[in-house]
Structure 1
Amino acid sequence: MTLTPDESAAIDAAGRMAIAFRDGLGARTVPPALRPDAIAGRFAGALPQGGASAASVIEQLAAEATEGVHGHASPRFFGYVCGGSMPVGVAAETLVSAWGQNSASSWESPAVAAIEEAVCRWCLDLLGLPADSGVGIVTGATIANTQGIMTARHVLLARQGWDVEADGLFGAPEFPVLIGADAHSAPLAGLRYAGLGSKRVVQVGTDDQGRISLAALAESLDRCTTPPLVILQAGQINTGAFDPFAEAIALVHATGGWVHVDGAFGLWLKAAPSLRDRLAGVEDADSWAVDLHKMLSAPFDAGLCIVRDRPALVESMTARGAYLPSLSANWDPSDTTLELSRRARGVASYAILRHLGRQGVEDLMTRLCTLAEHVAARLAAEPGLDVLNDVVSNQVIVALASDDLTDAALAEVQRRGHVYPSHGEWRGRKVIRMSVTNYGTQIADVDLLADEIILAARGLA
């Protein structure tokens, strides 16, 4: 099949506009020029009766949408722990779209399977996790957490003689679920998706940084009548703090329980020798969730579900039908994910890892955490600003003297648009939350972030 001139022009136009957009990130304000109500009308019309040329569709799409596109890829975007879609990954995504692979099967898409297997091996090595673990490349930490929880459900019920895949949850024996009181919403969503419920969970007390209390955990474990699922956290969303993994995991394993770790962004610190001690013992858990599109700055959507017991992950996830090739020694992406039809989402991460190399990944993680420490130090030195967390990763939270002042300062910073931190709440106070996550963020960017917050705070004094 040969592309028509119109089809070639459309692909060429998309490439030119993508380059222009990325080149212009440094010159534009970070927030979108138009918010939902203002831009919705551009796309609200009925589907035209007649079609349009491919090239004109792409030209019009870019022209109409760009004002409503947020600068998530900007090195001055500090909200919501978003990575920056590294250009080499974006380029690889172009190949992925052109290849048009349904990458579920190694037999049907052998190159993608081999590429994704390499990503899994490299990431296990970088993160210091067991080399024979099962890994599924999924859309992000929400699904990674869900899959880890579903695998825990499979194992804990099997130990009680129940086949949840065959018999479902109706009439199944129960097992306790314990989670820190300051856990992120993603594993709670995973508990809902797995049919375990989010209200039945036992919330375990935490300290002033959101780390699970060992005393409270031990007390909760003493009340468990069957081995529990315990969810720990590598990187609290506000403070960036890490649970005391070595001690907590030992307590859980003494009961025969399963430990799952939500490490969406924080698990990446294991890739840096100078930082990995902050997560000491995390490698002893049973399953882990981590994003590729956060600290590694892979394009959305990409994450890893990692399970020490690969057969348990496969038994929980595989959806092989009779028409599919039989299970072989080959590594098949669909065996460890919830999807049968899936894009080749691991290719971009492969390109990024090859581009950076081991040293580049280590340097990236170290730099992001160092920049977070720098902006925290600058803000802490300003009268009227309270940095509320011990900076142990890439997260910084700051508050003014009152919630109203904090809200006003954040609104002013976002209105000016030179940088973009986000909102949050911590221990009853509203905060300005900063995530230093973008591969491109440098010292000048975090200095501008500090300058903007300080300027806004002084204007309210």
Structure 2
Amino acid sequence: MDTSPKTVLARTAEIAIDWLETLEQRPAGATADVAELRARLGGLLPRDGVDPVTVVEELARAAEPGLVAIPSGRYFGFVIGGGLPAAVAADWLTSVWDQCPALYACGPAATVAEEVAGAWLGQLLGLPPHASFAFVSGCQMAHLTCLAAARHHVLHAVGWDVEERGLNGAPPIRVLVGERRHASVDRGLRWLGVGQASLTVVPADGSARMDVTRLRAALADGDGPAIVCAQAGEINTGAFDDLDAIADVTAEAGAWLHVDGAFGLWAAAAPRFRHLVHGVQRADSWAFDAHKWLNVPYDSGMAYCAHPDSHHAAMSVTADYLIQGGPGQPREPMDWTPAFSRRARGFAVYAALRSLGRQGVADMVERACDHARSFAEGLAAVPGCQVLNDVVINQVLFRFEDDETTDSVLRRVVGGGEVWLSGTTFDGHRAIRLSVSNWQTTDRDIARALDAFREAASHAGAGRGGVLPGE
């Protein structure tokens, strides 16, 4: 049994390279169902150990039919990016180095890489230079981090120490959210003790943006601590709230403004699309993902806060055994994130930013938006297809004559394996949404997607039944 790291990792690299180099020929979606995957991967835990190379080879063979070609340019689902070569390589090193950036003492290089990459990201996206930040697993935990800071800040302003006293007896916090918000905002608030029944939902206008006039009225219809959650990039349409106008309203009301910028905040990195986030730097906190448009491997999210003291108060922790601080005043990541033990995500983000540079990020964002627009223009010529949104960024929302036809077309396209994308419900009707977020997507990939929809539309009504992606 050869258990040497060199042998195991060399064979693993061969398997990984083969996967990446054959993505063009692979189906975009999985080809095995859950029963087959359980049969291939399951069974009793073996009594004796198995040679590591054999384990890796058999795992790859068993898992392959259940793998989705997310790294390919033909994957258009859920606003998921791929993996830039430098970011993937750095992520492999992250696993080999096995650093824990909870504390500087556990991983000095990992914590400094986060410090540098966090500053670079703030510069790239035009966030205030004094803003604090945290590397987290994704936008869900970024919301939790930012909204915990918001909760501390607005309660502290009225004399309540939530970290010491909890929420029992605290002044009620009004949280105002947009009608088209992402579900992760509600989920993060729920974990912080703010249930859905406590939310004030501000209606959206016809373009899925928060109605600023209604927001102003809602804020005026009450007093006390308040948090407003705005959105840069609605998940179906890509629409952007008027962040500058919302910042005016929240400033007048003395409310905290949090921005869900999961993928849309990356518009700030691209000169052609920067106007979409005009005023975003006036917010109090921002949450977004690096595993979307920056194309680093999962999982990688970011939380930024314009009030470092509130951020630190909400997240910091001490214990007798923790080694914190020291010569040079190192940044202690544990004071800014909700996690003790976690992956050293800063290495991959650092590598992605260095490999692209400011111009490379801008080009990647603008290229994806151009592809989305080309796809929408091509759809306009497909019989029975209706594009439902103004394509302002990388999201295309469309449907066919009725719900049944829409679902049938989507099922046929996904079943054909050329591309993968998901269904949704919008304004009470079934629809399909395409997200272009992968650095590898080309004009040919868009052409293949259009061909798949033309062919499926010509057979509309056939093959109905079964489970749709996105459900």
Q: Does TM-score exceed 0.5, indicating one fold?
A: yes
Give the match for residue 259 of structure 2: 261
Three-state SS of the structure 2 residue aligned to 1:229 is strand
Counterpart CA distance in 2 for 1:216 and 1:407 is 35
Conservation of the 8 A alpha-carbon contact between 2:237 and 2:390? yes
Counterpart residue identity of residue 136, structure 2: V
Residue 152 of structure 1, aligned match among 142, 150, 153: 150
Counterpart CA distance in 1 for 2:385 and 2:281 is 37
Counterpart CA distance in 1 for 2:210 and 2:101 is 39
1:297-376 correspondence to structure 2 within 5 Å: 297-327=295-325, 329-376=329-376
1:38-437 correspondence to structure 2 within 5 Å: 38-327=36-325, 329-437=329-437
Counterpart CA distance in 2 for 1:25 and 1:66 is 12
Q: TM-score, normalised by structure 1?
A: 0.97
Instruction: Kindly state the Cα deviation for residue 105 of structure 1 after the two structures are TM-superposed.
Output: 1.5
Conservation of the 8 A alpha-carbon contact between 2:263 and 2:288? yes
Counterpart CA distance in 2 for 1:444 and 1:333 is 43
Instruction: Kindly state the Cα deviation for residue 36 of structure 1 after the two structures are TM-superposed.
Output: 1.6
**4+ aligned runs moved over 6 Å, structure 1:** none
Counterpart residue identity of residue 86, structure 1: L
Counterpart residue identity of residue 11, structure 1: L
Conservation of the 8 A alpha-carbon contact between 1:319 and 1:340? no
Give the match for residue 458 of structure 2: 458
Counterpart CA distance in 2 for 1:177 and 1:383 is 44
Instruction: Kindly state the Cα deviation for residue 5 of structure 1 after the two structures are TM-superposed.
Output: 5.0
Conservation of the 8 A alpha-carbon contact between 2:403 and 2:429? yes
Counterpart CA distance in 2 for 1:93 and 1:73 is 15
Give the match for residue 6 of structure 2: 8
Instruction: Kindly state the Cα deviation for residue 322 of structure 1 after the two structures are TM-superposed.
Output: 2.1
Conservation of the 8 A alpha-carbon contact between 1:234 and 1:266? yes
Conservation of the 8 A alpha-carbon contact between 1:6 and 1:53? no
Give the match for residue 25 of structure 1: 23
CA deviation string 1:97-145 (max 9, x = no partner): 1101111112331111111111101100010000110000100101001
Counterpart residue identity of residue 273, structure 1: P
Three-state SS of the structure 2 residue aligned to 1:224 is coil
Share of identical aligned residues, percent?
38
CA deviation string 1:181-217 (max 9, x = no partner): 1101111111111111123111100012210001111
Counterpart CA distance in 2 for 1:204 and 1:324 is 44
Conservation of the 8 A alpha-carbon contact between 1:413 and 1:453? yes
Counterpart CA distance in 2 for 1:364 and 1:379 is 23
Deviates more, 1:427-436 or 1:99-108: 99-108
Counterpart CA distance in 2 for 1:285 and 1:74 is 35
Instruction: Kindly state the Cα deviation for residue 43 of structure 1 after the two structures are TM-superposed.
Output: 2.6
Counterpart CA distance in 2 for 1:320 and 1:391 is 48
Three-state SS of the structure 1 residue aligned to 2:81 is coil
Instruction: Kindly state the Cα deviation for residue 325 of structure 1 after the two structures are TM-superposed.
Output: 2.5
Deviates more, 1:375-384 or 1:67-76: 375-384
What is the Cα-based RMSD across aligned positions, in Å? 1.4
Three-state SS of the structure 2 residue aligned to 1:396 is strand
Instruction: Kindly state the Cα deviation for residue 4 of structure 1 after the two structures are TM-superposed.
Output: 6.5
Instruction: Kindly state the Cα deviation for residue 290 of structure 1 after the two structures are TM-superposed.
Output: 0.7
Structure 2: unaligned runs, 5 residues or longer: 462-471
Counterpart CA distance in 1 for 2:292 and 2:196 is 25
Conservation of the 8 A alpha-carbon contact between 1:10 and 1:56? no
Deviates more, 1:375-384 or 1:405-414: 375-384
Counterpart residue identity of residue 245, structure 2: E
Counterpart CA distance in 2 for 1:35 and 1:162 is 53
Counterpart CA distance in 2 for 1:142 and 1:454 is 36
Counterpart residue identity of residue 369, structure 1: C
Counterpart residue identity of residue 372, structure 2: A
Three-state SS of the structure 2 residue aligned to 1:183 is coil
CA deviation string 1:206-229 (max 9, x = no partner): 012210001111111111211310
Counterpart CA distance in 2 for 1:173 and 1:262 is 25
